[in-house]
Each structure stands twice: as C-alpha cells, then as structure tokens.
Amino acid sequence: MTRDVAGIGLGLRYDLATELLERTPKSIAWLEIHPENYLDRGGRYQEMLELAREDWPIITHGLSSCLGSVEPFDARYLKELGTFLKDLEIPWHSEHLCLGGADGRFFHDLLPLPFTEEAAAIASQRLIEMRDAIGIPLALENASYYAPQGPDGLAEADFVVEVLERTDAKLLLDVNNVYVNGRNFDFDPRLYIDKIPMERVVQLHVAGHFVRDDEVRIDTHGEPVPDEVYELLDYTLRKTGPVPVLLERDNNIPPLDELLSEVDELWTIYRRATGVGNAP
Amino acid sequence: MLPDHAKAMQRVCFGAEPSEADLELLGSRERWLIYRDLVRNRLDQVIGVALARTKNAIGQDAFRGAVDEWYARERGPVTRYLRYVPSEFAEFAIPVWQRTEAPWVADLAGYEISAWEVRHGPLDPTPAHDFAFDRKPVLAAAVKVLRLAYPVQQSPIPDAGYDPDPTILCLYRDKNHKAVPRKLNPLAADLLDAWRAADETVAESVQRVAAAHSTDIGPEFVEKLSSLVTDFIQRGILLGGAAQ
C-alpha cells in the first residue's frame, strides 16, 4: 500500500526539523528523505522520521547507489533498503544517474558519467538490478555536472532518454540541474526539457545553486531558487502536468518562514501551470 | 572505458596531487579540480564536526595534514554512510597522533569519535522481558565503555591540556539524543562490558566479574549493584532482559 503524493514537498533536514515538525505547515504536502540518513540509525533521526510520518506522506531519494557505478551492488544493503522503503509506503524511490565511487570507495558526491553507450548499458543494467532487488518502482534522476561529458550539453538529454527507454523506468527530473547544466554548457534548457518523454516524469526537483567567480554554477542546494529556475519549472509543469515538486535545500538552511515563502511561490507556479493543486 | 574513468576520478579526488595524466584522460582540467574540492570539502566538513575539539587542540595545519594523508592512503571512505566517515578517519589518525601529538590527544580523539558514534548509533533493541538476574541483559545499542589515561571529558587546563588521571567512562545516548558520559569504577566497567556482550545471564556475569576483582558478594556489594542497575535503567542504558 502506498500513500498519495502530490503538490509541493520539502526535504526533511536535521537543521530545520525541529521547527518544521512543531509547526507542521499545511502548505507542505509531503516530505522527502534520504534513506542513508535513517537506515540503521536511532536517536534524533529516528524520532524525526516517526514524527514526520504522522503528518506527511514520504518520498525517498537515495544518495549512495549511483546507477552508473561500475562495481556490484551490496546485496545486503539493497535488502535493508528494500525493507526500509516498503515500511514507508512510498510510491517510488529514486537514485542518481551518475558515478558515486570506485574501487570499493565512495566519493560521497555525484560524479558525472560520460554520455556513452557503455555507460548507458551499465546504468541500465544496474537500474533494473536495483529495482528488482528493492521491489519498488525506481526512478532515475538527471544529475548536474561541471566537466564536459559529451559532444554538447544536450547530449545528456539523449543519454537520459536512452537509459529510460532501455529500462522502462520513471524519471525524477531535476529542473535546477537542467538549468545549471544549460548555463555551464551553453544550451537552452527548454530544448533539454523538450527531449524528455513527459509520460515518464513522476517527480520534479527545484533548488538554488551557487555561482562562482568564474561563472561556473555549482548545484549546492544552498541558495534560494532563482527566477530562471522558477520559469523553467513553469515551462516543465505545463508539459508534465501535476507531478509532485520538491524544494531542495540542504545547505545554508534559512529560517523556515523563508523556505515557506519559496513553497508558496512554487504553489503559485504549480496551480498556474497545471490548473490543479490547492495547498492542503 | 568507464572503469578506467572511475579510477582516474578516484585518483584526482583523493590523491596527494592529481596527476596531469588523469586530468588529461578525464578532460577539462579546471573543472575536474572543482570536483576534487567538492568531494574533499564535504568529507572535511563532517570529519571536522565530529572531531572539533581535537582539531582545535592540534591546530588546523596538523589536522589538515592528517586528513590529506588519509585521503591519499585510503583513496576514499569505504562506508556509504557519511556519518561513518569520521570513524574511518579516526581509525587511521589516532595511532598517528599517539606518536606525534601531546599524550592526551589520542584520548581526546577517541572520546570525541566515541561520542559521535553513540549519538549516531543504531536503533535500540526491544527487550523481550523486564530486567532479571536470571536472564541475559538487553542494553541500548549506543553504549560504549572508554578507559582513558586523561580526563578528556572535562575542559582542558588552559595552555596545558590534561594531567594524567585514569578515568573509565560509559558513553550513552540520553533521551535528548545527546552522548552523555558517566564515570564508572573498574568493576562496574567490566560488568557493563559483560552485559554488552550479552552471552551470559546477569547473575553469571556478576559472579564472574566479582570473582575476577576478588570482591565478595555481600550485602554492601548487593546494595551497590542494585543502585548501579537502577541508575542504568533510569538512564536508558539497560533496557531489560532477553528471552531465554
């Protein structure tokens, strides 16, 4: 059994959890968690999750099972993850289309895959293997990247679609990542969005990013969502329809009221673009 | 080939100095050096938070040097859990600091990393029964016993650090999810170790540990044992008894 997830969600983060869980603002329709932060962990994190589940449906988004890694999955971890996810009654789980480690070591960051046939084959095989192991629908997320991986920036969209088609998978479309990549590699992010088969999109992410002095944009999740990303979200929602949208904020976390202002802006865009979805 | 790319990324991110050959293989030298910074900064941050007092005690440069040496030697953390990264680093660094830093630094780092592990430790088990002397005990998951040469749970002497003062501590996670130290005498520490192992009943462990300490189980001992058990239960260290 799964719980319905729609509208605007927020990531459950340690630094904002106390105020969020006390106030339980009604404009937030659901919460997203990273399973790695809760698996085999008691204390405050266990308490946060238990309290959150009293008021919100949960969606999970993994950090460590990067689909493009070249080493075998840890079967024990996948079993623990599958058990954890089933207990949460989630509609789907998502992981990044990237490379997260090598030679038995984890990068703890999302490193880019080259947009090659080999990488698409590896990522597709791993996605299917992981989906079978956890027994829950698995969506991939397009990643941000800073070093060129193909002949042009839009090659990434073809790469993402290739993996989607090979695996019949769902997509968590990160609108901020598309925007960041568009600025870093000089393409129109709307052309990227146009290449995506919208029937596969089950969820969207939006966030802010950091602009370095050399103009390279880094996907920090540590800044307010910029107007250009709001505009790209509007463009995307008009194509996808009312799929759930997550506001990601992982660093430089401001007072909750500042985040709620961004949530309100997202609801405005959501309603305008889709014609549905009042805040609960 | 993707495996070659992955290993080049690993060397660029964790090597003492990224090689020009790897950067050329990956392409876009400047952008890959951004990745090196991003990867290392994230790990630096969690390590620095977990070992904040140690970092302050030995200084930024010495701490930085130990972290860099660990990156170069281990080529990245084995754990997928960011919260376990400081423990992997401490396992490498504490023996180094035993040789290179003031004699109390290793105790301080050991205390800090134990507190971090207690705070972020696993879920507590659910005991099948109430505590009973004829059952194996069930303890909270996040409990550690530390035998220290220096009282590093206290504030240091300004500009001096710590004088030797052998100290045994139990570190446990309290109801507010904080890691809290409680002093133990040697017999209580051995009892707690026995209860953590949970391979004998409480009565068996009491008899064995008391004998090892040449202590008679008389009225005074029983009274102190009763107080210890009550205190452990009230603190959430001792949760109950196991099924037979």
Q: What is the pLDDT of residue A279?
A: 56
CA atoms within 13 A on the CB side of B70: 27
Tens digit of each residue's pLDDT (9 = 90 or more) over A104-151: 999 999 999 999 999 999 999 999 999 999 999 999 999 999 999 988
Whether A103 sits inside 8 A of B1 (CB atoms) is no
Tens digit of each residue's pLDDT (9 = 90 or more) over B42-71: 999 999 999 999 999 999 999 999 999 999
Measure Cα distances from A202 to A6, A84, A208, A241, B168 in Å: 10, 21, 21, 10, 54
Distance CA B212, CA B91 (A): 31
The angle at the Cα of A20, spanning A38 to A262, to the nearest 5 degrees, equals 110
Work out the average pLDDT over B125-139. 96
Q: What is the pLDDT of residue A278?
A: 62
- Contact status of A113 with chain B (Cβ, < 8 Å): yes
Tens digit of each residue's pLDDT (9 = 90 or more) over A17-53: 999 999 999 999 999 999 999 999 999 999 999 999 9
Q: What is the pLDDT of residue A1?
A: 66
3-state DSSP assignment of residue A205 = strand
pLDDT at A280 over 70: no
Sorted by sequence, the CB contacts under 8 Å of residue A236 that are 6+ apart come out as A173, A175, A193, A204
Whether A216 sits inside 8 A of B31 (CB atoms) is yes
- Contact status of A114 with chain B (Cβ, < 8 Å): yes
Distance CA A190, CA A66 (A): 26
* Residues of B within an 8 Å Cβ radius of A: 1-3, 5-7, 9-10, 13-14, 26-28, 31-32, 34-35, 38-39, 42-43, 74-83, 85, 119-124, 141-142, 173, 177
Distance CA A128, CA A140 (A): 11
Tens digit of each residue's pLDDT (9 = 90 or more) over B161-183: 999 999 999 999 999 999 999 99
3-state DSSP assignment of residue B182 = strand
- Alpha-carbon gap: A168 to the closest alpha carbon of chain B (Å): 23
Share the mean pLDDT of chain A: 96
Whether B34 sits inside 8 A of A114 (CB atoms) is no
Amino acid at B117: E
Share the mean pLDDT of chain B: 97
pTM listed for this prediction: 0.95
Whether B121 sits inside 8 A of A46 (CB atoms) is no
Whether A105 sits inside 8 A of B177 (CB atoms) is no
Nearest to B31 among A40, A119, A146 (CB): A146
Confidence band for A3, pLDDT divided at 50, 70 and 90: confident
pLDDT at B244 over 80: no
Work out the average pLDDT over A160-189. 97
Whether A107 sits inside 8 A of B13 (CB atoms) is yes
Q: What is the pLDDT of residue B159?
A: 87
Looking at chain B, the whole-number percentage of residues with pLDDT higher than 70 is 100
Distance CA B121, CA A41 (A): 6
Query: In the CATH hierarchy, which fold is given to the domain comprising A8-274?
Result: TIM Barrel (3.20.20)
Q: What is the pLDDT of residue A2?
A: 73
Q: What ipTM, to 2 d.p.? A: 0.95
| Residues forming beta bridges with residue A205, ordered by sequence position | A174, A246
